[in-house]
A = this chain, B = another copy of it.
């Protein structure tokens, strides 16, 4: 079932049915005004849809003046979209009819499926199976419906039909849609497409991303999701989308870490929330965390999406009539990573000659409390004429000379005169600012009543522009794709499995490292003190002894690692001590023996790890190593496979990366060696599905070498 569902790609027919619907049938259309089947039909009729509309109801002749058909198969013409609003138990039958009628897109409004328990889940699978048999696709069930406002189609039971606009909205929560539409009505912004995903039994956010990518009427996509099942596909499609359109995502449910027990450092560091954050960033999507940010995004991008899409960088100037709010805005920009322009000396000179002497002429520009709207204009038109300025935050507090209504008019005019710049007013106040606020929003200028809203939309723009640039860079780099000796690796894994072990022994893990080309120290496996001494003599002192046991994962925590052993006696003594400690602290552990390896000295201890996320698949991790890795969490992550450029980025995103560059007299090392290890681990995880989790901790790093001195591998 699962396989079939993934394998089914979006047909052109389905895409066209959604983007260019010519006919819609409402199955379960009702004459009773409060019923969902009535509301949907009425919405379709009232929203300006020019195609044909067919109410389906075996017990009625006419509804809302339209001829009614008993079944969809009775409709004489083709139907592009069928909206189903009948009780859950008869949905299978109705879907079957839709299939027979060859309807490409079926929207199941009805509830009573997976959300109610196992019986509902079974029913849900059934309707998907039926639809797929006919090549039909399903939206929902348990959803609000869909809107294609570019075609005047509101096929939802929302009480309000929003205006047509440039925003594509995809949401896993119907309530979020109704709340946003309600706000849209207040602020007057519009949508191109609205999709309520419901239970996502068939079509999901990835499918609709694909569709909206092709949609010329959509210039920005806003998404509310609680989960992404096809994580890797999401990343792939999103990366295509964001080349042209900003993608803003609110992912809810960040604090739940999933119930899966993890046994490696990487597994515990790469919790669900962290992987989502990583994956969204990798996908080029701008992540937001609050409903308010969504609203601000709607207000802002409905006006400036096309401006942002063309930008190469985002730089902002703050203009204010009060010092305090200017300082607050500066603080917030700095915290949000929004770059403030340095004004050129010529501009400062120009401003100086036109403003009172007490005015502050650097960013933020303080036009003073007695500023008239004209003074704002004088300043703004000069600032916006600078090519390096991409936008302005215009703060106004209610003062004697402010004249908010006139200021609003002037700002509308300024925004019109500089169509390629982002003009974002912030009117701080209540009663005296109300009219001005409304006037601005009506004219399409996103005016906020709080500074942080303005800062948040500039932060989104700035992140979008940065992500898009970085993705372009990554794509430019030709990727070398090494094929690992998968068979040999599988042989090692198979051997462990035959012994009933899911955790590889240290020497087995070293074997895999050697196969994929990650350096490990010389050494071997010893069953007695004398064997240990023999190996030590061979590789040369000093050596390190580590217990070999599939049951002891954090060896150093219980003193089962001994380092710096310089003589045969020390080796013997350490052998006994480790054995004694292992049996004392882990009396039920299987102890295979002791691993002896040449002690490697280096400057830094880092961790390179990997885990397999249920949604996004293999994830690689890099960071500060050693025993405190989980405490300092100085790590970076990527969904694999990654390019070498991304591996390098991962290193520089961490503090230990900064140190290894040669921070404050620390010794710089050749980063290429670490890049290579991360890159090879990414390949390993991509090519060998059987490996679930992997920790190289520590990877010991010197100027010109790296050694994986301890490696944990957990297999399926």
A binding-site residues for B, Cβ under 8 Å:
34, 115-116, 157, 159-160, 171-176, 178-179, 182-187, 224, 226, 250, 252-255, 289-292, 295, 321-325, 327-328, 330-332, 334-335, 358, 369, 397-400, 428-434, 450-452, 554, 556-559, 627-628, 630-632, 634, 655, 658-659, 663-666
Contact = CB atoms under 8 A, between A and B. Distances in A.
14 contacts: A174-B322, A174-B369, A175-B399, A176-B325, A178-B429, A179-B397, A185-B431, A186-B431, A226-B324, A290-B328, A290-B452, A291-B450, A627-B666, A630-B664
Copies in the complex: 2
Contact of A332 (B289, B628, B664): B289
Contacts of A663: 628, 631
Contact of A324 (B115, B224, B369, B655): B224
A225 to B, nearest CB: 9
Contacts of A179: 322, 325, 397-398, 428-429
Contact of A255 (B334, B450, B634): B334
B325 A291 contact: yes
Contact of A627 (B34, B116, B450, B664): B664
A325 B160 CA distance: 20
Nearest to A630: B664
A430 B324 contact: no
A632 B634 contact: yes
Contacts of A399: 175, 178
Of A330, A369, A429, A659, most buried by chain B (CB within 10 Å of CB) is A429
A397 B558 CA distance: 53
A452 B182 contact: no
Contacts of A172: 324
Of A324, A433, A434, most buried by chain B (CB within 10 Å of CB) is A324
Given A173-B324, A179-B428, A182-B398, 18 more contacts: A116-B358, A157-B400, A159-B432, A175-B399, A175-B428, A176-B325, A179-B398, A182-B429, A183-B429, A290-B450, A290-B451, A291-B325, A291-B428, A291-B451, A292-B452, A557-B665, A631-B658, A631-B663
A620 to B, nearest CB: 23
Contacts of A255: 330-331, 334-335
Nearest to A633: B655
